[in-house]
Structure 1
Amino acid sequence: MAKGNVQHEKLRQETPAIWALTWPIMVEMMLQFMLGTADTLMVSRISDDAVAVVGIANQFFNAVVILFTLICGGAGILISQKLGSGRAADARKIGVMSVALTAIIGIGVSVLLATSSHTFASILQVPDDLKEMSYTYLSIVGGGIILLALNLSLSSAVRSTGDTRSPMYVSIGMNILHIVLNYAFIFGAFGFPQWGLFGIAISTVISRFVALLFQYWMFRNAFGTPIVLREFVSFNRKLLKEIVKIGWPLSMNGASWTISQVVLFSMVASMGQLPLAARTYMNTMESFAFLFGWSLALAVQIQIAHLYGANKLKEAYYSAYRVLGFGILIVLANTLLLILFRSPIITTFTDDEWIIEMVVALLWLNLALQPGKMLNMALGQSLNAIGDGRYVMMTALTSMWIIAVGLAFVLGIGLEWGLYGIYVGMILDEYTRGILCFFRWRKHRSKLAFAEAFRSEDAALKKNENANGAAF
């Protein structure tokens, strides 16, 4: 048997341990955070205005990429479930189809973004002083959005097989290359021209293209025998329906969240350049607070989907709670570290007194925000893993737009609380969705499939105890 087949057989038989799944994702995100922080620091050397442009543009691009969650998210969960149930051939077909569909949609989206930067800048309410800068960044990075989408699709498929290390290595390399190219293009180092924000956009596209080459090589060898090109033109309608069934609620949920963040960013942009720069810096700092929690949430989704496919329902049920408890402790510790070292951290980015004071104040609100985020992330991803994404979507659509956006508008714009009002809306939204997901997860224990699993396992344990007692 080939080496790839041996590894794949092991994947079918063994459920990946949560730590084995988590640490590569965590390392990848930590390095992305550190390199992203360095990226923001270098952009700040151009101006606070450049930071604001990159911040609002990236929020917009995140919303666009969510379009691909329909494919990537649904495919990832199904790959784990199929491997858990021993259906490796179906897992392979799902992975190939997800990449092919991403490529088709990505081409159209990239063309649209490359040719419509003026329109999108107006929709995002970019301040007039920043519009000229935003056109260049939006058109170049938007035109290359297919690279980001394909990287997302390929790495999601590979992670879902239980191999979280390989995407980590590629991501590390991509971010290091991005930072080096940023340094070269911003400051004119190594004989390169000094291109400023234009150079940052070019750096982003180049680093994503290089990463794509490595991601494809990994993906090609992730399912045993190497995948060949002709497989990408073969579609299985039944499996495609399964992808859509699981993926469309994930897509709607993700799109709703990211678009709501764009709307919130637009509210902040309407407040002026200083609040927009402060919110962008806060985004960078907040990433440190929740990145380990998000890593755990992604890992537990893979693990629970695998356990669910293997019909190990009781183990799947309690995995969510273990991750939740540990995750809350971690995000609280990380937020406290940010508060403790708040002054030296923020002064590294900017010397504007208003921005510094605002960011420091918002860090205290993050102490309330992050546990709610963890509650929502851990249990939301767990529900997605067992195919209950529709419930997560329905609660998210309601809460995000009524509480996060609606309340933020009333408090932040209507009552003129500014960024404080935005954060109050965000905090209440995270806890509302998290609590609803918590009760939904508990409800699954009493459903027939879970109840039967619990009764059978409990009966087996009782039988063993009685046998041991009789022997004694």
Structure 2
Amino acid sequence: MKSKKTNFGLWALAWPIFIELLLQSLLGTVDTIMVSRISDNAVAVVGLSGQLFNALMTLFVTISGGAGILIAQKLGAKRGEDARSIATMGVTICAVIGLGISILLYTQPRALAGMLHVSDELLPLWETYVSLFGGGIVLTSLIAALSTAIRNTGNTKAPMVIGIAMNLIHIGMNYVLIFGLFGFPEWGLFGVTVSGNVSRLIAVVLLFYIFMNSFERKIRFADFWIFKPKLLREILNIGWPLGINMCGWVFSQLTIYAFISILGAKELAARTYMNSMESFCFMLGYAIAIALQIQVAHLYGAGKNEEAYRGAFRGLGIGLALVMVNASVLFFAGSSLLGMFTKDPEIVAIGTSLLALNLLLQPGKVMNMTLNNSLNAVGDTRFTMIVGIVSMSIVATGGSYLLGIHAGWGLIGIYCSMIADEWVRGVIVLRRWMGKKYLFRSRTGSEVDAASKSRETSLSV
């Protein structure tokens, strides 16, 4: 067997994730600008369909998320073979689920448009994008499963490099296929679907190669047919609340987007542009949150509970500081940045009105990301699920309708509801983590024995 040396220090895990997210956001912004050259309607379709894709993706996030946490825990407890088996089962199940979603999106775009109240002017673009780009979502499911498994072995650099390559290929092909350069036809939004599917396929091939060599014993193709019921139950026990929680969040966002679509295409385009800009605010905080989940799960598996407890607060402090700096920069430069996306003065005015509220939104979001991830890392996924579902349903979605639609506040009212939701959940999960209820719960004898054997492993921060 080969020895796999990995570093589970917070910064060692976080910086590749940050670089990947940064370049994804930059390239995503370029992508949005390119799509905006087709039309603002095309941007609205991409934004709304993205929410639909996220909603359906929760079905395989249930598996990949639960598997990822367990991989880090098992490696921390020196149970590498269990981690390897969990990884292969996770990839196989995600592939099957992703294939089913792809078939749904490819065959039923018009029915889905009716459910989301897509206007007649957007329908032709919607059918093209949802059926063709959405039809390749099986590739997204494989990317999620493979990247999550690789990251939770402590190797965050490989997904970073492959993610950057995928996005560069996507942007390059967009440039050629949208505008019809170098003898290619001018395909518009159809060109975006082609470049998206080709770039995702290349990423899957590269990630698969890395994945096969990520554990002490190399993974063989035959291993993907092996299922161990006990380990599968562990994946589902952690994973199903993660899936429901994310499903609740995505459906909340999808419903909110439906409310925005009622307000009009300009509001929908403005929200899509703001999403691209806001991603720059929290990306470093999000990278810290992802890295923190991996580190806390590894520490917890090793039985180092006090280190895990302190590490969560350290990650929270770092994330808050970074996000507030970024949000302040966006506040002062946001109106100019919006002009890069669209020349429509009404859309620019709508987006500018939201910049001050973003200063309140981002710190609550960071608190949620870091402490939710810490609770999930130790297996407390049912608590985060309950808190998330209740708050997102009542505060975020219900508040968005009452303030944004019923009271007539428009996007301002919707943003106020989103801010309230983030802070309510943030305060609740903070109190849960401070109570240490789940972190120091009683564990089975086998878990204690495995953890005690790994106490000599030191983690750098």
Q: Distance in 2 between matches of 1:225 and 1:385?
A: 25
1:447 Cα deviation after fit: 7.0
Q: Deviations over 1:414-468 (max 9, x none)?
A: 0010001110110000000110000000111697559xx9xxxxxxxxxxxxxxx
Q: Deviations over 1:209-229 (max 9, x none)?
A: 111100100101111232111
Contact map agreement 1:127 1:270 (CA 8 A) in 2: no
Residue 213 (str. 1) matches residue 210 (str. 2): no
Quick one: which amino acid aligns to residue 86 of structure 1? K
Name the one with the larger helix percent.
Answer: 1
Instruction: Report SS of the residue matched to 2:215.
Output: coil
Query: Relative to structure 1, is the Cα distance of residues 42 and 230 closer, same or farther in structure 2, using a 3 angstrom cutoff?
Result: same
Query: How do residues 123-138 of structure 1 correspond to structure 2 at under 5 angstroms?
Result: 123-138=115-130
Q: Distance in 1 between matches of 2:3 and 2:248?
A: 41
Q: Distance in 2 between matches of 1:385 and 1:117?
A: 36
Quick one: which amino acid aligns to residue 83 of structure 1? L
Contact map agreement 2:75 2:298 (CA 8 A) in 1: yes
Query: How do residues 153-168 of structure 1 correspond to structure 2 at under 5 angstroms?
Result: 153-168=145-160
Q: Distance in 2 between matches of 1:324 and 1:81?
A: 21
Q: Distance in 2 between matches of 1:110 and 1:290?
A: 30
1:202 Cα deviation after fit: 1.2
Contact map agreement 2:378 2:438 (CA 8 A) in 1: no
Moved more, 328-337 or 85-94: 328-337
Q: 1:6 aligns with which of 3, 6, 11?
A: 3
Q: Distance in 1 between matches of 2:438 and 2:380?
A: 15
Partner of 1:371: 363
Partner of 2:114: 122
Q: Distance in 2 between matches of 1:445 and 1:398?
A: 21
> Higher relative contact order by CA 8 Å / sep ≥ 6: 1 or 2?
2
Partner of 1:385: 377
Could you say what the CA RMSD is over the residues aligned between the two structures, in angstroms?
A: 1.3
Q: Distance in 2 between matches of 1:405 and 1:343?
A: 27
Residue 188 (str. 1) matches residue 180 (str. 2): yes
Instruction: Report SS of the residue matched to 2:3.
Output: helix
1:195 Cα deviation after fit: 0.2
Contact map agreement 1:127 1:272 (CA 8 A) in 2: no
Contact map agreement 1:317 1:445 (CA 8 A) in 2: no
Instruction: Report SS of the residue matched to 1:328.
Output: helix
Partner of 1:347: 339
Partner of 2:445: none
Residue 430 (str. 1) matches residue 422 (str. 2): yes
Contact map agreement 1:74 1:247 (CA 8 A) in 2: yes
Quick one: which amino acid aligns to residue 274 of structure 1? K
Q: Distance in 2 between matches of 1:108 and 1:340?
A: 45
Contact map agreement 2:248 2:389 (CA 8 A) in 1: yes
Partner of 1:237: 229
Q: Distance in 2 between matches of 1:229 and 1:446?
A: 37
Query: Relative to structure 1, is the Cα distance of residues 322 and 111 closer, same or farther in structure 2, using a 3 angstrom cutoff?
Result: same
Quick one: which amino acid aligns to residue 3 of structure 2? V
Query: Relative to structure 1, is the Cα distance of residues 106 and 374 closer, same or farther in structure 2, using a 3 angstrom cutoff?
Result: same
Partner of 2:87: 95
Q: Distance in 1 between matches of 2:70 and 2:166?
A: 27
Q: Deviations over 1:303-361 (max 9, x none)?
A: 00000000000000011100111111111111111112123211111111111111111
Residue 396 (str. 1) matches residue 393 (str. 2): no
What is the total number of aligned residue pairs between the two structures? 443
Q: Distance in 2 between matches of 1:249 and 1:140?
A: 30
Q: Distance in 2 between matches of 1:317 and 1:445?
A: 11
Query: What TM-score, normalized by structure 1, do the two folds share?
Result: 0.92
Q: 1:263 aligns with which of 230, 248, 255?
A: 255
Partner of 1:463: none
Residue 45 (str. 1) matches residue 37 (str. 2): yes
Residue 325 (str. 1) matches residue 322 (str. 2): no
Query: How do residues 170-319 of structure 1 correspond to structure 2 at under 5 angstroms?
Result: 170-319=162-311
Contact map agreement 1:81 1:310 (CA 8 A) in 2: yes
Query: What TM-score, normalized by structure 2, do the two folds share?
Result: 0.94
Residue 421 (str. 1) matches residue 413 (str. 2): yes
Quick one: which amino acid aligns to residue 121 of structure 1? A
Q: Distance in 2 between matches of 1:126 and 1:292?
A: 34
Query: Relative to structure 1, is the Cα distance of residues 119 and 323 closer, same or farther in structure 2, using a 3 angstrom cutoff?
Result: same
Partner of 1:411: 403
1:123 Cα deviation after fit: 1.1
Partner of 1:337: 329
Q: Distance in 1 between matches of 2:216 and 2:155?
A: 13
Query: Relative to structure 1, is the Cα distance of residues 238 and 356 closer, same or farther in structure 2, using a 3 angstrom cutoff?
Result: same
Contact map agreement 1:253 1:392 (CA 8 A) in 2: yes
Moved more, 105-114 or 380-389: 105-114
Which ranges in structure 1 are unaligned for 5 or more consecutive residues? Answer: 454-472
Quick one: which amino acid aligns to residue 292 of structure 2? V
Q: Distance in 1 between matches of 2:402 and 2:351?
A: 21
Return the index of the structure with the highest Cα Rg: 1
Q: Deviations over 1:366-406 (max 9, x none)?
A: 00000000111110000000000100000000000000000
Instruction: Report SS of the residue matched to 1:126.
Output: coil
Q: Distance in 2 between matches of 1:282 and 1:176?
A: 22
List structure 1 segments (4+ residues) > 6 angstroms apart after TM superposition: none
Quick one: which amino acid aligns to residue 63 of structure 1? A
Q: 2:100 aligns with which of 108, 127, 141?
A: 108
Residue 443 (str. 1) matches residue 435 (str. 2): yes
Q: Distance in 2 between matches of 1:174 and 1:111?
A: 23
Q: 1:60 aligns with which of 33, 49, 52?
A: 52
> Equivalent pairs: percent with the same residue?
48
